[in-house]
Amino acid sequence: MSERRTLFDKVWDSHVVRKIEKGPDVLFIDRHLVHEVTSPVAFLGLKNRNSKVLYPERTFATADHNTPTINQHLPVKDPLSANQLKALEENAKEYGIPYWGLGHQKNGIVHVIGPENGITLPGVTVVCGDSHTSTHGAFGAIAFGIGTSEVEMVLSTQCIMQVKPRKMRITIDGSLNKAVTPKDVALYIISQLSTSGATGYFVEYAGEVFRNMSMEGRMTVCNLSIEMGARGGMIAPDEKTFSYIKGREFTPKGEEWDKAMAYWKSLYSDADAEFDKEVVFDGSVIEPMITYGTNPGMGIGISSGIPTAESMDGGVATYRKSLEYMDFKEGDAMLGKKIDFVFLGSCTNGRIEDFRAFAEVVKGRKKADHVTAWLVPGSHRVEEAIEKEGILAILEEAGFQLREPGCSACLAMNDDKIPAGKYAVSTSNRNFEGRQGPGARTLLASPLVAAAAAVTGRVTDPRELMELETA
């Protein structure tokens, strides 16, 4: 094998326990994150086989998908949700897994609390029964979502069987324009590559734009890797990464830290390492983005019009069906469209940086009367920071309320459902039909675009509001 290896090769190869001839690799998993929705059947399987959890100390459980975002101190009303939460709590207890349930100080969305607690580290493998596990790639980890059969595999053997994906590098240089956030960069990439453009690949993000991003921003980008079909995405760790993780609860300390650093410093793609596919974009052409259709690839610069079916490759009928669901017309402008709901939250944009951005726009303004806004922090830590930094006061002054942490309207398993036919500007990751509630119509966008819509009640270019301030 060549000496020149990519970041992905280095981490993957060092975790292969066994190579099966003409088959998948047996890959060791360092960290396994578990939540209430995709784990119960896996635990049942474990019981049926009379197996144990091989490494409970490498396993972490939280409740997030199915939980209410108000009155979390009261018993969960929906009996089915309550049953799943109870099952996870009991399973965690039986198998000795740390469990951060509702009300626990460390509770929050699984992909938000992993990094917050130092569970996510450079050079580790992370899996979870949730496709946005790709988030953790921001630290230079190999992280991807798995199905419930695989959850059972990892519980009982800490391994998974996977064919090594191909490698793609996405390089973006140039400086980003005002009001262009990591979410816009990601939505832009997906709009260019389509929702299946990276299927079969593991992506490395490289170039100035990602180097300049905060860790929060890198998480947003890696989070959305799955929306172009990629198994996951990762960014080489650097000083920003190391200073983010240093001192967190599960981060190695003292001598262990020094040893880990020696390994982490080797984690980059060697010069001339080969990728199966290279894609290059210019960062300076990206505008604040918004989606108009029913998959995350259907995104455009906010000041553009909805493309015509003829201008899209193939699938005219599918394209029209999608616009029909949204009740939009080909050629329509997105700016000015009336909206009904705003959702700020999810593992894509539910971190402190996102609340800061939202507050920057709504500060000194008022929420539009007809808009219902759900502001849901990704974790209790985020919630605390919102309060401490004075953001809560700004939000309340502008007529917003903060809810309690959880996945909420990202997948609408709890009561946070957008009603049929209503439009929601959402900072989450999926605009599929019914994703945010049966019949709900989702416009994916950044926290800045969401904030602008929340105060004007329409799709609005955040630059307009932000320019007023600087003028």
Partner 1 sequence: MAYDKFNVLKSSAVPLPIENVDTDQIIPARFLKATERKGFGDNLFRDWRYHPDNSPKEHFVLNNPIYQGKILVGGKNFGSGSSREHAAWAIYDYGFRCVVSSFFADIFRNNCLNIGVLPVQVSPAFLQKIFEAIEKDPKAEFTIDLPSQTITIDASSEQEEFDINPYKKENMLNGYDDIDYLLSMKDEIEDFAGGLPL
Q: Decide which of ligand SF4, partner 1, none touches 347; Cβ closer than 5 to 8 Å per partner kind.
A: ligand SF4
Distance (Å, rounded) from C-alpha 408 to C-alpha 415?
8
Q: Decide which of ligand SF4, partner 1, none touches 159; Cβ closer than 5 to 8 Å per partner kind.
A: partner 1
Amino acid at 316: V
Taking residues 213 to 252 in sequence order and writing x for each that binds partner 1 by CB under 8 A, - otherwise, the string is ----------------x-x--------------------x
Q: Which is nearer to partner 1, 97 or 412 (CB)?
A: 412
411 part of the interface to ligand SF4, by CB under 6 A: yes
Amino acid at 204: E
Using DSSP, state whether 428 is helix, strand or coil: coil
Q: Decide which of partner 1, ligand SF4, none touches 333; Cβ closer than 5 to 8 Å per partner kind.
A: none
> CA-based Rg of the chain, rounded to a whole angstrom?
22
Residues 294-353 that bind ligand SF4 (CB under 6 A): 346-347
410 part of the interface to ligand SF4, by CB under 6 A: yes
203 part of the interface to partner 1, by CB under 8 A: no
Q: Which is nearer to partner 1, 23 or 103 (CB)?
A: 23
CB of 117 to partner 1, least distance (A): 15
Distance (Å, rounded) from C-alpha 301 to C-alpha 285?
10
130 part of the interface to ligand SF4, by CB under 6 A: yes
The neighbour count for residue 274, using CB atoms within 10 Å, is 14
Which uninterrupted H or E stretch holds 277? strand 277-282
Q: Are 419 and 441 in contact (CB under 8 A)?
A: no
Alpha helices in 265-390 (DSSP H): 316-326, 346-349, 352-362, 380-388
Distance (Å, rounded) from C-alpha 298 to C-alpha 444?
10
Taking residues 393 to 432 in sequence order and writing x for each that binds partner 1 by CB under 8 A, - otherwise, the string is ------------------xxx------x---------x-x
Distances in whole angstroms, Cα of residue 384 to Cα of each of 219, 381, 392, 459: 20, 5, 10, 30
What are the φ and ψ backbone dihedral angles of 338, each rounded to 5 degrees?
Answer: -75, 140
167 part of the interface to ligand SF4, by CB under 6 A: no
Using DSSP, state whether 188 is helix, strand or coil: helix
Distance (Å, rounded) from C-alpha 393 to C-alpha 388?
10
377 part of the interface to partner 1, by CB under 8 A: no
Q: Which is nearer to ligand SF4, 349 or 460 (CB)?
A: 349
Distance (Å, rounded) from C-alpha 5 to C-alpha 25?
18
Interface size with ligand SF4, residues (CB under 6 A)? 14
Residues 6+ apart with CB under 8 A from 372: 340, 341, 342
CB of 429 to ligand SF4, least distance (A): 5
Distance (Å, rounded) from C-alpha 276 to C-alpha 402?
45
110 part of the interface to ligand SF4, by CB under 6 A: yes
CB of 47 to partner 1, least distance (A): 12
CB of 112 to ligand SF4, least distance (A): 8
Interface size with partner 1, residues (CB under 8 A)? 79
Distance (Å, rounded) from C-alpha 14 to C-alpha 16?
6
Q: Decide which of partner 1, ligand SF4, none touches 161; Cβ closer than 5 to 8 Å per partner kind.
A: partner 1
Q: Could you give the count of Cα atoms lying within 13 Å of 447 in the half-sphere of its Cβ?
A: 28
18 part of the interface to partner 1, by CB under 8 A: yes
41 part of the interface to partner 1, by CB under 8 A: yes
Q: Binder to ligand SF4 among 66, 429, 431, 436 (CB under 6 A)?
A: 429
Q: Binder to ligand SF4 among 42, 76, 109, 168 (CB under 6 A)?
A: 109
318 part of the interface to partner 1, by CB under 8 A: yes
365 part of the interface to ligand SF4, by CB under 6 A: no
Using DSSP, state whether 450 is helix, strand or coil: helix
Distance (Å, rounded) from C-alpha 387 to C-alpha 65?
24
Q: Decide which of ligand SF4, partner 1, none touches 111; Cβ closer than 5 to 8 Å per partner kind.
A: ligand SF4
Distance (Å, rounded) from C-alpha 418 to C-alpha 401?
17
152 part of the interface to partner 1, by CB under 8 A: yes
Taking residues 97 to 126 in sequence order and writing x for each that binds partner 1 by CB under 8 A, - otherwise, the string is ------------------------x-xx--
Distance (Å, rounded) from C-alpha 215 to C-alpha 92?
30
Amino acid at 179: A
Q: Decide which of ligand SF4, partner 1, none touches 392; Cβ closer than 5 to 8 Å per partner kind.
A: none
Residues 386-405 that bind ligand SF4 (CB under 6 A): none
CB of 424 to ligand SF4, least distance (A): 14
Residues that bind ligand SF4 (CB under 6 A): 64-65, 109-111, 130, 132, 346-347, 407, 410-411, 428-429
